[in-house]
Structure 1
């Protein structure tokens, strides 16, 4: 379970990374909107796991690889923003947040189930 300190630090990182991607995201991924959906930080605050969601993009894995290839540059820009608030700038690990895809897939399954005709209960077992 994350401590208050971890949650607060994760919130700072999420906010600053969102600003970085808003300004610089077009340089990495043209015509793609990158959203930071969640950030988790290790207890020692040395590693930040950043979950990204890509909109207007066909290949999430390729987009993730592009972001990973710019990870040191993104970390440097993050460091410039938070250097007065922290002792060390965390290593950034990027992951695709597939929650929206999962929700969409589950919605389709539930729609399919609701359209199927229900079998009448016979009362026999």
Structure 2
């Protein structure tokens, strides 16, 4: 089902606010790695938000996700302060790992390997 315009607007609003909250809480740069809010998908009733986090060079992404979930109450409180004027009810947050970066890196490696193999084949034929 495609998101409505309102869902997208609220999702972007929540994403911007969460990015600021993560920065204030020190989650944006952790152990030499970076965490960013990649996307926020809202349910049609705007009461639930699926938050996709992108983790770059984080050694244990699942452990980091658990650390973030442990501070859910604090995050939601700060979200309520930031969005209280725009929303009647603050959505329930669910955090997920966004593996898009991993997928991109794997694809780049595959393309490099294909180019190398093609180059080796051409050199072998000459």
TMscore range, shorter length? 0.7 to 0.9
**In structure 1, how many angstroms separate the alpha carbons of the residues matched to 2:94 and 2:86?**
20
Residues 53 and 98 of structure 2 are in contact (CA less than 8 Å); yes or no, is this contact kept in structure 1?
A: yes
Shift of 1:70: 1.1
Q: Corresponding residue for 1:72?
A: 73
Partner of 2:113: 112
Give the SS at the match of 2:94: strand
1:51-70 pair list within 5 angstroms: 51-70=52-71
- Where structure 1 has 5 or more consecutive residues not aligned to the other structure, the ranges are 120-125
TM-score (norm 1): 0.86
Q: Report the RMSD for the aligned CA atoms in angstroms.
A: 2.1
Q: Work out whether residues 49 and 92 of structure 2, in 8 Å CA contact, stay in contact via their aligned partners in 1.
A: yes
Q: Deviations over 1:63-85 (max 9, x none)?
A: 11111111121011100111111
Matched, 1:24 2:28: no
TM-score by length of 2: 0.86
Partner of 2:6: 5
Kept after mapping to 2: 8 A contact 1:20/1:78: yes
The answer for the alignment partner of 1:122 in structure 2 is none
Q: How many residues align?
A: 119
d(CA) in 1 for partners of 2:33 and 2:20? 15
In structure 2, runs of 5+ residues without a counterpart are none
